Chains A and B, each alone.
Chain A
Amino acid sequence: MLRDLVIHENEATRIGQVLGSFLEESGASEALLIDRSGQLLASTGKTATFDTVSISALAAGAFSSTGAIAELLGETEFSVLFHQGVRESIHVSTVDGETILLAIFDDGTTVGMVRLFAKEACRAIGAILAEARTQPRRVGVLAAPLTADETRGRIGPETR
């Protein structure tokens, strides 16, 4: 079962630094930290033109389904996923049981470089997330329970 996650400013900054160094060292253009349920936790990149929310949902789905294939083959999981495109390629690797790191890169670097530095980045981010999971979830303005009034907002217009 996935555990709830909270990211405080301190962890967000540290994760941002790790992702930044990863991009610099690997030559990848974009790095996305994605929760396995499909939610984007953090992203750093040079272009910021991609639809990172959609990419996160799809990559988590793809990673889960290849994980299910791995199980059918008697593997625990495939820890790395690589898709090669004409211009852009993606490399997805396991951070921990609940998180994956996706890198987008072009022919300015190689999959070997990305793989090498992704391993390091995953280790560093895994340690930060392990700390984050021990942090209290509700602090500051979220410490007091929400009142019914505060949750009365609507996503869209009702027909009743």
Chain B
Amino acid sequence: MSIINYAAKEINFKVVYYGPGVAGKTASLQHVHRSLPDGNKGKMISLATGDDRTIFFDFLPVSALTVRGFVTKFQLYTVPGQVYYNMTRKLVLRGMDGVVFVADSQWERLKENVESFRNLEENLREYNYELDRMPCVIQYNKRDLPNAAPVPYLEYMLNRRARRVPSFESVASRGVGVFDALNTVSRMVLLSEFGQEQEVQSNAS
């Protein structure tokens, strides 16, 4: 849910990193946090268990470009990936403007990716959001692992809806591909709010 504040000259958006457990959502946010200068980021907060698994969410506010005198700010969240945390996962989706789906590229995690993607669709429906109208990108993570499935196969499994979304290969632990996905989804969010309808369509195809 974007918030335009004419008094503060700010536009605020919420982007959520979604995906199965240990796919690299928190690692992606950590890379964003490490890479940005202090002036462009706030504090990163992680609500995690003792063994560093996200229990509620990670949160990182970043500011992006200035558009017509308005500073655009993106609040980045991750969800807990583990199946049994669905209630908290749903809470984090509230009011979101865009989603980065982080898939684990390993062959043995394919099932979890598909289930998580379906879970995303179901949870969005509960808020009356439609994934097909929501700015969305897919980040195929862990591309450096020897057991990573080929991208065309992952695309076939996760990205063959009527509207295909932009997808990116990444190695979040080293920061590869993380900003490619984030910059694209932030652009899509901006266009879906302030662009022409056809621009959103062409950007997403």
Contact A38 B70, CB 8 Å, known A154-B183, A156-B179: no
Inter-subunit contact A155/B183 (CB<8 Å): yes
Docked-complex contact A148 and B199, CB < 8 angstroms: yes
Q: Which residues of B contact A64 (CB under 8 A)?
A: 91, 94
Say whether B91 contacts A2, CB under 8 Å: no
Is residue B74 contacting chain A, with contact meaning CB distance below 8 A? Answer: yes
Q: Verify A61–B3 contact, CB threshold 8 A.
A: no
B6 an interface residue at 8 Å Cβ cutoff?
Answer: yes
Q: Give CA–CA (A150, B6) in the complex, Å.
A: 19
The verdict on A39 contacting B3 (CB below 8 Å), with A12-B8, A141-B68 known, is yes
Decide: A151 and B182 in contact? CB cutoff 8 A: no
A-B residue pair count with CB separations less than 8 angstroms: 160
Count of B interface residues, CB-CB < 8 Å: 59
Interchain CB contact (< 8 A) of A140 among B1, B6, B8, B178: B6
**Measured between C-beta atoms, what is the minimum distance from B13 to chain A in Å?**
9
A159: B residues at CB distance < 8 A: 175-180
How distant is the Cα of A151 from the Cα of B202 in the complex, in angstroms? 14
| CB-defined contacts of B182 to chain A, threshold 8 Å | 155-156
Q: Which residues of A contact B87 (CB under 8 A)?
A: 68
Of residues 8 to 40 in A, which have CB atoms within 8 Å of B's CB atoms?
8-9, 11-13, 35-39
| A72 CB, nearest partner CB in chain B, Å | 9
The reply to whether B175 and A142 form a contact with Cβ atoms under 8 Å apart is no
A152 and B187 in contact, given A1-B128, A9-B7, A51-B42 (Cβ under 8 angstroms): yes
Closest to A157 in B: B179
A41 interface residue, CB < 8 Å from B? yes
Contacts of A12 in B (CB 8 A): 5-8
A43 to B162, CA, bound (A): 43
Q: Are A1 and B127 in contact (CB under 8 A)?
A: yes
Contact B36 A54 (CB under 8 A): no
Query: B101 near A: Cβ within 8 Å?
Result: no
Q: Chain B, 113-141, contact with A by CB distance < 8 Å: what is the 0/1 string?
A: 00000000000000111000000000000
Given pairs A1-B127, A160-B180, 5 additional interface contacts (CB within 8 A):
A57-B61, A141-B70, A142-B194, A148-B203, A154-B64
Interface CB pairs A-B, < 8 A, 19: A1-B127, A2-B127, A6-B6, A7-B3, A7-B7, A11-B7, A35-B1, A37-B94, A39-B12, A39-B95, A41-B3, A41-B5, A61-B47, A139-B6, A140-B6, A154-B64, A154-B183, A155-B74, A159-B176
- Residues of chain A whose beta carbon lies under 8 Å from any beta carbon of chain B: 1-9, 11-13, 35-39, 41, 51, 53-54, 57-58, 61, 64-65, 68, 137-142, 145-146, 148, 150-160
